[in-house]
Amino acid sequence: MTSEPTTPTTTGGTTWTQSTGETTGARTLPPFRADHVGSLLRPAALKQAREDHAAGRIEASELKAAEDEAVRDVVALQREAGLRGATDGEFRRQSWHMDFIYSLGGINKVQDENLRVQFHNADGDIEFAPPSAHVDSKLHLESTIFADAFTFLRETVSEGVTPKLTIPSPSMVHYRGGRAAIDESVYPDMESFWTDLTDAYAAQVRGVYDLGCRYLQLDDTSLAYLNDPEQRRHVAEIGGDPEHQHETYIANINRALADRPADLRVTTHMCRGNFASSWVASGGYDFVAEALFGGLEVDGFFLEFDDERSGGFEPLRFVPKGKQVVLGLVTSKRPELESKDALKRRIEEASRYVDIDQLSLSPQCGFSSTLEGNNLTIDDQKAKLGLIVETAEEVWGGA
């Protein structure tokens, strides 16, 4: 049925019925009306424990104990903020993606000074060559990645709170290095590379589902980066197809998810880079929008919309019924707290292009995509999560 009204209310929420049978207030399935991307700021004690372990001052068991304590605390923080889903803050990782990628069979960690990245912020640029990945043998999944971390999270969350696992999308194994990062003696053609990679991901999906995961997120910066002409030039320079690479990525994500269980909710998060409050790319979602929103077989899209770098909401016109859009209107890069009224106005603006039934609210990215974290405090982070919950309650009638 058609939902009315088409703009958000600010006085107790809406009462019409979605085609799924849910009220337009609190969602019982993720992504929730108030949600967040995944990573959260590491407490000082955890950072110190990781440093001590790297220096050989404490044993692995002591680091794990520090991680366990920090995860319990951050789960409590999310519960106190009023969120219906929870992550472990990615507290057991150095970075949002490379810990996972290095755990795939067939991939080795390398240092390639030619693969430099440049992040931007209000004070200038940060350029460096972080470790990267090289495919040296056949890709495979040796065991379910992050299995122990997810199990601990599942056992820690309160009843009624859904644990979410975040992992990098298959695209992230390919994007930065392209064909040059894949040994041609192992994969003389790219089709066999994608077959093995998507098979490994399909096995990972089955593995986390068997552990009780019902909310899985694939983080994918590439699908946002490719909107930026500078990034498309980079793709061309390393031998890729800048006009169609996003279509290849979408097709292979779909292959990886094709046999997922019906009750596993899958979202993807797309931003333009996040490191120490800095970013890499700019540009709206226009270049990828039609193929992405119409073709990617996920249940929801976490989208970055916190400033002018992200473009306008017009690309949301390609989002079909049945898909959820989580508007990343609250920045995780700066401590200043957004205006609730301004958030409501932006939600209303987005609802001109996709039905408000299909909208939710979140930060635009994680607060700590890497160990270092963004330039704000844990109290700032908590205030932003609370603001998201309060705004969602007022717009949709319950977070």
* Alpha-carbon gap, residue 342 to 335, rounded angstroms: 16
In the chain, which residues have pLDDT < 70? 1-26, 113-120, 126, 128-129, 276-277, 279-280, 398-399
Which segments of the chain does DSSP mark as H helices, in order?
A: 44-54, 60-81, 98-101, 147-156, 171-174, 190-210, 222-225, 229-237, 245-257, 286-295, 340-350, 378-396
CA angle 239/245/250 to nearest 5° reads 150
- Which residue has tokens 């495979």? 140
* pLDDT tens string 120-140: 677 777 674 677 899 999 999
Which two three-digit tokens encode residue 344? Answer: 């409501």
pLDDT number for residue 24: 54
Structure tokens at 389: 């919950």
**Cα 357 to Cα 243, 344, 360, 367, 373, distances in angstroms:** 33, 14, 8, 27, 33
Residue 301 contacts residue 278 (beta carbons within 8 Å): no
pLDDT at residue number 110: 87
Find, among 288, 348, 282, 349, the residue nearest to 318 by Cα.
288
Predicted local distance difference test score (pLDDT) of residue 15: 29
Q: Which domains does the chain have, with CATH numbers?
A: 44-396 (3.20.20.210)
Name the residue among 62, 216, 60, 61 with its Cα closest to residue 146: 216
Residues 6+ positions from 218 with CB-CB distance below 8 Å: 167, 168, 169, 170, 253, 266, 267, 268, 269, 298
pLDDT at 131: 75
| Nearest C-alpha neighbor of 254 from the set 318, 307, 298, 315 | 298
